[in-house]
Every structure is written in C-alpha cells, then in structure tokens.
Amino acid sequence: MQRTLAAAAAVIASTIVMSVAVASADHGSVTGTVTAKGVRTSANIVLSLRAPGLTVTPPKKPIEMDQKGMVFLPFVLPVVTGTTVKFLNSDPLPHNVFSPEGKYNLGTWPQGDTREYTYKKPGVYTQLCRVHTEMVAYVVVLDTPYFATTNASGQFEIKDVPAGTYTLVGWGERLKKFEQSVTVEDGKATTVNITMAR
C-alpha cells in the first residue's frame, strides 16, 4: 500500500527530443519514457502540455475513483478542471474521503454507497481515509486537455495534439516537478525521454 504523502515541487531532468512520422496528418502527439530516480516505480506520473489559450471541457458524467482492497483505485487520477469525481466504496467496511489541499471531507460511508466532489481549481489533491490512515491517492486537476499517465514501464503518449509549442509538465508522487518546452508538428510524434528525481 502507498503510505507516503507528497507534494509536487521543482525540476531535474535531462531530455532528448526527436520527431518520427505517425499516421495522423492533421495532429501530432508527444510520446516518450520517464525514468524516475529515488522512487520504486516510474508508473503513475502525469505528463501534461500547457500553452496560453487552452480550454477544457469537463466530462458530462462523473469520473470514478474506487476504494477496494483497502486502496484507492486508481492511485493517480488526472482530470480537467470542472470534473466531478464519484468516490465509490467496494469494500465490506466503511471508508472516508478527505483532502487537506481541497479542505473537504466527504464523510464516511458503507459498501455500495458513493460520494461526489467537483474540482473547480487546478492542482494536486491528496485523497485520504480517516478510517484507514495508510490509504492515499491523488487527483491531479489540469487546465489542459492534453495529458497522459505513465504505465509500469514509464511510457506515455499524449495523443491528438494540434501543432504548436507547448510546455511539457511532469508530476509524480515524491518527485520534483519537470518542465520542458516541446514543439508538436502535424503528422509527427515528438519523442521526449525524461529523467525525474526526488
């Protein structure tokens, strides 16, 4: 189980960028691999593309985060500003959800019940359970529609990105924040290999 509470802070990284052809001709993508040093895994790192003038449209239906097997699932949930998250309890015992950053406490509820919360401001919101203090997860609220989360191998792909110059931002639990300028071209994939550390 994840036991550590953490916050995102400032960068260390070495980046190599190159372009290769992809099938789509009217948009590009940003792909790559994140190597996370000083932590157990390169998974669950959120990469997002920022640029002036970007707008987001939250989904009409809530996005779900479950509590199952005494852990939050998923461990890291990236969403856009304005998204409503539905917190489930699939365990046969009560769970609670509260966040010190969001200053909300949704209460404690039994198996099968749910609670919802709408995230109106960008930021990283730690999710905790007052009943089981070892439980922790993160909702990462973004003001960009272009983002992805790394898999177990640290790989990611941000798809369907209009051509332009962006700031690529990386966030991971207990890792220093990463920022790097990237240029996306129509019909190409920009590949970025990143190193992040504690």
**How does strand 16-21 pair with strand 95-99?**
unpaired
Please tell me the pTM assigned to this model.
0.87
Distance of alpha carbon 173 from alpha carbon 6, whole angstroms: 6
Q: What is the dihedral of CA 121, 79, 49, 174, to 10 degrees?
A: 80
pLDDT at 118: 98
The structural domains of the chain, ordered by start, are 16-50+145-197 (2.60.40.1120), 63-142 (2.60.40.420)
Contacts of 127 (CB under 8 A, 6+ apart): 65, 72, 87, 97, 98, 99, 136, 137, 138, 139
Residue the block writes with tokens 């995230």 = 119
Q: State the chain's mean pLDDT as an integer.
A: 90
Over the stretch 56-111, which tens digit does the pLDDT of each residue have? 999 999 999 999 999 999 999 999 999 999 999 999 999 999 999 999 999 999 99
- Could you read off the pLDDT of 113-124 as tens digits, one per residue? 999 999 999 999
Angle at 185 (CA atoms; ends 179, 190), nearest 5 degrees: 50
pLDDT for 25: 59
